[in-house]
């Protein structure tokens, strides 16, 4: 079996997927029609043609516009269910989904509608597809910390529906330190903590995420190679980095997938994982990310196994579940 074939078939966890970033143009148009929302694009093709991004912000502007069609509980369910079907096809056996409640509550959609729709899809993913799934609530970092506190309070009646919190949206100019107090509160509540850092921002933002927010994983983190001390720290602690190769390419963080730092990060002993970020916008789901990265960086079968094992090492699951996932990886290796 080639490294590419193994990359497709190996069981894996996806830990960095914004569920609103899985909204395909066809579903955006179907939901717009169902809900009577008008879109500033004439057709699916016209919308897709607008997906020519120059940086993170140019993407976020379209991503938030796309999410405007989500109004009812069933819309959130349908979006997540469509993702789970694709994840299953890519041999994703465990997924931790980011969602951005502020994008919805700002439009008058209640927290309950968002939570109920997404968590019903997670329950069905487990029951009907055998994909275990959980939710991570992300605070939008371009908004204030006060807004994040308000969002947390609104989410607490649904505490059993999410396992942790994250930090996403426009990175530059919004350092992790801005959210130190709300993350401390989330830590007290026993929530898992993650944050986007080192996507477009500097290694300093990754240090802040580690030292001030006390995160258990960093999303992206590819800026770490600019700072040898940070690399040494990450290698020592095995703090996981949820890397998204096609996202980095589409948002012009790297010019060519052959220049992507993932292989160097693996060689440095970091706990790197492969993820799709916003697959409907960046040209591919998990296996597209795996396969294109394997081919661009000439990764070996051992590298593919390391990436799959890292995804389960980094997953927020109990030790018994982790052991079962690791066994699945071993079985796929010898198959």
CA 241 remoteness from chain centre: 11
Tokens found for residue 103: 């994008």
Judged by CB under 6 A, which of 68, 105, 169, 311 binds ligand ADE? Answer: 169
CB contact at 8 A, 178 and 150: no
Runs of H (alpha helix) within 137-276: 145-155, 180-188, 203-208, 228-237, 245-250, 262-267
Residues from 248 through 287 that contact Zn ion (CB under 5 A)? 277
What is the closest distance, in whole angstroms, from the C-beta atom of residue 308 to ligand ADE in the complex? 22
CB contact at 8 A, 332 and 10: yes
Residue 174 partner contact from Zn ion, ligand ADE, none using kind-dependent CB cut-offs of 5 to 8 Å = none
Q: How many beta carbons lie within 10 A of that of residue 13, not counting itself?
A: 27
Residue 73 partner contact from ligand ADE, Zn ion, none using kind-dependent CB cut-offs of 5 to 8 Å = none
Judged by CB under 6 A, which of 11, 21, 176, 261 binds ligand ADE? Answer: 21
Q: Is 56 in the site for ligand ADE (CB under 6 A)?
A: yes
Residue 169 partner contact from ligand ADE, Zn ion, none using kind-dependent CB cut-offs of 5 to 8 Å = ligand ADE
Q: Is 196 in the site for ligand ADE (CB under 6 A)?
A: yes
Alpha-carbon distance of 140 to 243, in angstroms, equals 19
CB contact at 8 A, 273 and 241: yes
Chain residue whose CB lies nearest ligand ADE: 168
**Active-site pick, 199, 204, 302, 313:** 199
Alpha-carbon distance of 233 to 213, in angstroms, equals 16
Judged by CB under 6 A, which of 278, 299, 310, 316 binds ligand ADE? Answer: 278
Among positive and negative, which fits the CA dihedral 27, 9, 15, 241?
Answer: negative
Q: Is 199 a catalytic residue?
A: yes
Question: Based on CB atoms, which residue is closest to ligand ADE, 75 or 168?
Answer: 168
Chain residues that interact with ligand ADE, rule: CB under 6 A: 18, 21, 56, 63, 168-169, 196, 199, 247, 277-278
Chain residues that interact with Zn ion, rule: CB under 5 A: 277
Which residues are identified as catalytic? 199
């Amino acid at each position: 079996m080639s490294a590419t074939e193994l990359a497709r078939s190996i069981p894996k966890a996806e830990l960095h997927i914004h569920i609103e970033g899985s909204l395909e143009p066809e579903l955006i148009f179907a939901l717009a029609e169902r809900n009577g929302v008008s879109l500033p694009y004439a057709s699916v093709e016209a919308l897709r043609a607008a997906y020519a991004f120059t940086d993170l912000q140019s993407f976020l502007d379209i991503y938030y516009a796309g999410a405007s069609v989500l109004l009812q509980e069933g819309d959130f369910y349908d979006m997540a269910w469509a993702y789970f079907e694709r994840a299953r096809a890519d041999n994703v056996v465990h997924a931790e989904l980011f969602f951005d409640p502020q994008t919805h509550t700002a439009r008058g959609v209640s927290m309950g509608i968002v939570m109920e729709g997404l968590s019903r899809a997670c329950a069905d993913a487990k029951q009907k597809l055998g994909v275990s799934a959980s939710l991570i609530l992300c605070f939008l970092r371009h908004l204030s910390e006060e807004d994040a506190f308000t969002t947390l309070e609104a989410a607490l009646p649904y505490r059993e529906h999410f396992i942790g919190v994250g930090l996403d949206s426009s990175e530059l100019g919004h350092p992790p330190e801005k959210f130190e107090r709300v993350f401390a509160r989330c830590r007290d509540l026993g929530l898992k903590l993650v944050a986007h850092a080192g996507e477009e921002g500097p290694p300093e933002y990754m240090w802040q995420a580690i030292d001030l927010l006390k995160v258990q994983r960093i999303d992206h983190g590819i800026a770490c190679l600019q700072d040898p001390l940070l690399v040494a720290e990450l290698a020592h602690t095995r703090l996981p980095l949820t890397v998204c190769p096609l996202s980095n390419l589409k948002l012009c963080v790297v010019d060519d997938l052959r220049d992507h730092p993932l292989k160097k990060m693996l060689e440095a002993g970091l706990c790197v994982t492969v993820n799709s970020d916003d697959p409907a916008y960046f040209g591919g789901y998990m296996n597209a990310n795996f396969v294109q990265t394997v081919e661009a960086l000439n990764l070996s079968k051992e590298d593919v196994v390391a990436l799959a094992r890292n995804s389960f090492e980094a997953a927020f699951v109990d030790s018994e579940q982790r052991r079962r996932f690791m066994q699945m990886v071993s079985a796929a290796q010898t198959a």
